[in-house]
Structure 1
Amino acid sequence: MQRRAQREKRDQRAKRRNRVLVCAAAVPVMLVAAGCSSDSGSGDSTDKAAKAAASASASPSPTVQAAAYGKLPEPCKAFSKKTLEDLVPKGKSGKEGKSDDISTRGSCSWDSLDNNGVKGSQFRWLNVSMLRFESDVTRGPADKLAQEYFEKQVQEAQAVEGAKGVKTEPVAGTGDQATAVHYDLKKKEGTFKQQTVVARVENVVVTLDYNGAGLAGDKTPSGSDMLKDAKKAAKEAVDAVSEANGEGGGKAGGSASKTPSKAPSKSPSKSPSKSASKEASDEPSKSASSPSKKPASKS
């Protein structure tokens, strides 16, 4: 009986050792399983990050509508022979302004002195400036940039120092928008009648300055007649811009073209949009200084 009891005790102790060994062996298996589970989660996170990066790189870069007009006409050929005979009857060939990029910026001026001897003389000065804008991803579409510059030009024309009786009025049938500013400017040579017409067609701004005076006792010209001539010349210049880009001139009004593909803009070596924005500050109306200088050299 005693031996039997001893054997039962030994069997019980053996069973307990086996259970301990089985449990000990199970612990590494659980750790391995836990480790595999952790690695799997890390891999999923890495895959998600990689997919997000790939998606970001595949996203299209920002775009902006292309400029409608890609070039300018020769400014000294913007007017017909008859128009020049009417506005600057004694004028000779126009004087073209300097430009480092004729597809972006251009200007031309004419002056006329009709000498009537002891009765005095009639002076006229005509200037046309054209500035073309390119679309820019950071600054916006070209027509919007042109509109901003258009508004700036009108404000500058209204704020000329010494101007008397400044009046502003819209001009119909000239490009997408046009405004005329006219006033008197008294100088030692006489009273000058100044007309400034600012017009925008698509992404191009045309600024026309036209002034005149009766010198050495001659009568002061009619401001209303000069304004009528200035409006006619401004429309002619705007039509020249449209024609240079393959669009017919002489439109009754509104946009000259809404199809950018008809006049694709070429990218010059120097960024046109930057050039236009840089030169815009150099393109204000010359009407404040020109009247006094021009007649002085002729009288």
Structure 2
Amino acid sequence: MHRSAPRLTRILACAAVPVMLVATGCSSDDAPEASASPSAPAAGGASAAPASSAPPAPSVTPAKYAKLPDACKAVTAKTVEDLVPEVKKKAGTPGKSSDLNARGNCSWNGLEDNGVKGSDYRWLDVSFLRFDSDQTLGGGEKRAQDKYVAKVAEVKATEGAIDLRTSSAPGVGNEARAISYSLKKTGETFRYGVIVARAENVVVTVSYNGTGYAGAKAPAAGELMEGTVKAVKDAIAAVTAANK
């Protein structure tokens, strides 16, 4: 079979060029043409669908109370006088706190000497814990509820407590628990009345205790609890007043 002149000329020309060029420009007419490779997407072309973002965390309700009262002024002077006769320091003794807007406490004590009838000793203590709302930790009220439950359990677990009794304390804050018990200390029986209460995002704990020396009787549990109720109502009212 004879090839045409143009075709023969082309074959001779390709024989004279380097091998690398033969592969590109001098392929035989009989060889199939290479198919075009698929092109990559243009830089400005459609992009893949964006990954779905996580839904935003639900916001927490702001805490109701932003401040705490001065713990040593939270119980009125009249209440202190009634509960702690012959009080040593009427202004109270404040506890240490690194943040008085989050926690605070104050205490009063006194010994009333009744001569041959003996002496009566009383101690009153009030403490506050305030919880802010936090996106990570939760709402202030819920955090206070958790602390309230834990505090009640802590008081009920007082080491050495005897004759322990608990009851609700209606009319005190949003919720409150009254706990009474006795402790033997320095050869005497000390009686305790404790109320743990929650007012919104604040937990209030009031402890009132006493004993009798030199023949005087220890105070009755009911008497102590009446005084505790009076003091805790003062303290909760002080929280409300501090946030007006």
Shorter-chain TM-score category?
0.7 to 0.9
The Cα shift of 1:48 comes to 2.5
**Letter of the 1:64 counterpart:** V
Partner residue, 2:41? 39
SS at match of 2:136: coil
Contact 1:189 1:215 in 2 (8 A): no
1:87 aligns with 2:89: no
The Cα shift of 1:197 comes to 0.4
Partner residue, 1:137? 135
Q: Would you say how many aligned residue pairs link Structure 1 and Structure 2? A: 223
**Letter of the 1:234 counterpart:** V
| Cα deviations by residue, 1:110-157 (Å, 9 ceiling, x for unpaired) | 001100122210000000010111222222211111111111111111
| Cα deviations by residue, 1:190-227 (Å, 9 ceiling, x for unpaired) | 21110110001111111110001111111221210111
142-151 vs 122-131, which deviates more? 142-151
The equivalent position to 2:189 in structure 1, one of 183, 191, 200, is 191
1:69 aligns with 2:65: yes
Change (3 A) 1:22 1:43: farther
In 2, the alpha carbon distance for the partners of 1:40 and 1:24 equals: 29
Cα RMSD (Å) of the superposition? 2.9
The Cα shift of 1:173 comes to 1.1
Could you state the TM-score of these two structures normalised by the residue count of structure 2?
Answer: 0.81
SS at match of 1:48: coil
Which structure dedicates a bigger proportion of its chain to helix? 1
The Cα shift of 1:41 comes to 11
User: Larger radius of gyration, structure 1 or 2?
Assistant: 2
Change (3 A) 1:75 1:24: same
The equivalent position to 2:118 in structure 1, one of 117, 120, 124, is 120
| Cα deviations by residue, 1:149-171 (Å, 9 ceiling, x for unpaired) | 11111111111122111001011
Which structure dedicates a bigger proportion of its chain to strand? 2
In 2, the alpha carbon distance for the partners of 1:116 and 1:207 equals: 30
In 1, the alpha carbon distance for the partners of 2:30 and 2:220 equals: 116
Partner residue, 1:253? none
| Cα deviations by residue, 1:8-64 (Å, 9 ceiling, x for unpaired) | x97xx9xxxxxx859955x44xx25xx23x5269954xx235x33xx639x646632
Partner residue, 2:212? 214
SS at match of 2:224: helix
In 2, the alpha carbon distance for the partners of 1:89 and 1:83 equals: 10
**Letter of the 2:119 counterpart:** S
SS at match of 1:56: coil
SS at match of 1:174: coil
Which sections of structure 1, spanning at least 5 residues, go unmatched?
A: 1-5, 14-19, 247-299
**Letter of the 1:219 counterpart:** K
